[in-house]
Structure 1
Amino acid sequence: MNETTTIFTGYSFHLPIESWFIPVGIFTLLCLLLSTFFSIACFLQILFDKTCHTIPMLLVGNSYFIAILFGIDQIYTRCFTLFNDHQRIQYHDLLCNFRGYFGYATCSIQNSSYLLQAVYRYVTIVYPTRFVLQSIRFQLFLITLTWLIGLLYPIGFLFTNEIVYNIDNQICQLPLKLSFSIIYMANGAYIIPVLLTIFVYFKLILYVKIMGKRVTSVNTLLRAQRELKMVRRIVILVSILFILCFPYAMFIFLSFFITIPKYHLRISYVFIDVSFIAVVIVLFQFTEPLKMSVMRKVRTHNIVPILSIQN
């Protein structure tokens, strides 16, 4: 019923591997590299363009920054797996458990960053006069809080040695089985922030509908509808995560009752890595100020060479 996991502290050669390990490993690594470089470019654009120095863009920048850290952790993990597959060895290095912990932590912070964006939009509509809740100090406080929760909630896994080296999947993770740790991890990293984001969206829908029935100024109603549209886009992001991370969630659920496939983590992480690149691109597409900032920069670089040629 429980999956078999073993900790190794040395090399074991001549490990049989499947023919699809290397191609799939290269594909997922490329997805992660593209996602991380794209996130770095977007974060730097937000950081250095003064027109992007607003509270909504601060929250978007937070999402991209944690995406960078998540991407780096996953790139390191995929390189480790790919190297072991290529060399046909089993090897549990000193940082393997930490990579597993950091993956859980950054996943939680990333999902919470989308929740913060939804909450900010909700506050600006429902409590437009409560400027303290909309202030940069309060938003920085919330960002710091989500980071602390994200970094602390899985730290116990390191001290209890629950993150172990899975030989078949060449990765350090919690073993998928019916246990408090798996349920705790799934709720902290995924279920709670995602459900709260969806809850905020539906609360906002109800509020805007009530506004439409009341005697409300046109400008106020249009502004509320515009903010609702932004929250809807955030929910679309979360939906992409939900759909493409479904195999991992399904294997967690099935592990409570049956023996799951030996290479469940390899299969799951293909979908997770594809969802990562989809989310960072869609976030850019949905963030109009960032798109406009990039377009201005592109136009500037295109105009300067033309003027030089004419002169």
Structure 2
Amino acid sequence: MSTTASANSSLNTEDYRLVALISLIFVLIAVIISAFIFILVWQTKPRLHTINHLLMCNTALATVFYCVTMKVNFAYVLFGQWDTSDLSCRFRAYFAYSGIAGVIYSYLIQAISRFFFSVLSNKYRRLTSFKTHYILIICQWLVVFLVTSPSVLTNDIYFVPHVFCWVPLELVMHLAYTAFAYYILPVVVIVTIYTYIYVQIRKVRANATAASQNSQKRELELLHRIIILLGIYLTGGIPSLLFMVTSIRLIYMINLVSPSVVVCVEKICTILLDREMCQVIRAKVFRLTPVTPFATGLVLLTNVPTQRTVRHNV
């Protein structure tokens, strides 16, 4: 039995049920918020029909995909022990890894989009079009399903009762590939792109006009928002790294819950950090809130002292 399986086997069914319940709560919140983002962007024309919000919806789609795959894995661990097929286990791992990578790579194409707008837009206007970004999104998902294919093309993942379908810890090469392809590579590219954009903006800002400086300020604010959201999402992988090093049962339980919690927090912050979306939500809330008129008695009271004063003076 693999190291992962050995650690997982120490968890009983009640442990999994508790972890699954906690995870389910945060997953449902994340899915509801993601659906809310879709509906809000779809209904608010043309204010939220921007490329930024298109990419935000793509990240929300990746979040929903990830949440669904995680719940399917929990369901199989708790109720699907009749399915002992290794191939079925590999496909569950494949889609779960695709959900994880999908979110990370959605942030990567956001970084590429910012590079198009900040650096290349003056020379290549086509790169800032919706058509280009639809192609980016399609390419992102093709890359995601390609880089995660070793999960289903190899025999490294196999069925173990009451154990999640993941790459065993003793398969170091496959595990290293998973960490590199799903996390390290896209994050390094994202950081490189944003660093370059930041340096370029700071370099030309001194000689820029007032309008250009305002545009660059908005660009920096957008970069700051995306980096915060990416950082929140990446913190969900810390328990996984700790478990690889320690194989402690408690850390493994935290590892099962933390991605759901982090995804939920990331979705909440997605709305709170987006100024346009917050303004739209605030306007809709105020529009639905009934306005209670002042009572006429208040007006009469304000007029009484005036009348009395006039009579006294007379």
**How would you bin the TM-score normalised by the shorter chain?**
0.7 to 0.9
Instruction: Map residues 285-304 of structure 1 onto 2, 5 A cutoff.
Output: 285-303=272-290
Residue of structure 2 equivalent to 1:37: 32
TM-score normalised by the chain length of structure 1: 0.82
- Corresponding letter in the other structure for 1:238: L
CA distance in 2, matches of 1:16, 1:211: 57
Residue of structure 2 equivalent to 1:155: 149
Q: Return 132-141 or 195-204, whichever deviates more.
A: 195-204
Q: Secondary structure at the match of 1:149?
A: helix
Q: 1:261-297: per-residue Cα shift (whole Å, max 9, x none)?
A: 3575433122111111111111121222222333333
**8 Å contact 2:67–2:260 — kept in the other structure?**
no
Out of 76, 80, 100, the position equivalent to 1:80 is: 76
Overall identity of the aligned pairs, in %: 24
**8 Å contact 1:29–1:78 — kept in the other structure?**
no
The structural deviation recorded for 1:2 is 5.1
**8 Å contact 2:55–2:110 — kept in the other structure?**
yes
**Is 1:101 aligned with 2:94?**
yes
Q: Secondary structure at the match of 2:3?
A: coil
Residue of structure 2 equivalent to 1:62: 58
**Which structure would you say has the larger Rg?**
2
The structural deviation recorded for 1:96 is 3.7
TM-score normalised by the chain length of structure 2: 0.81
Out of 238, 242, 248, the position equivalent to 2:240 is: 248
- Corresponding letter in the other structure for 1:3: T
The structural deviation recorded for 1:227 is 0.7
Structure 1 spans left out of the alignment, 5+ residues: 7-14
- Corresponding letter in the other structure for 2:191: I
Q: Tell me how large the CA RMSD over aligned residues is.
A: 2.8
CA 1:148–1:306: 2 relative to 1, 3 Å: farther
Q: 1:86-106: per-residue Cα shift (whole Å, max 9, x none)?
A: xxx786467443221111112
The structural deviation recorded for 1:162 is 2.1
- Corresponding letter in the other structure for 1:80: Y
Instruction: Map residues 128-167 of structure 1 onto 2, 5 A cutoff.
Output: 128-129=121-122, 130-167=124-161
CA distance in 1, matches of 2:11, 2:120: 60
**8 Å contact 1:163–1:173 — kept in the other structure?**
yes
Structure 2 spans left out of the alignment, 5+ residues: 294-314
**Is 1:260 aligned with 2:256?**
no
CA 1:4–1:235: 2 relative to 1, 3 Å: closer
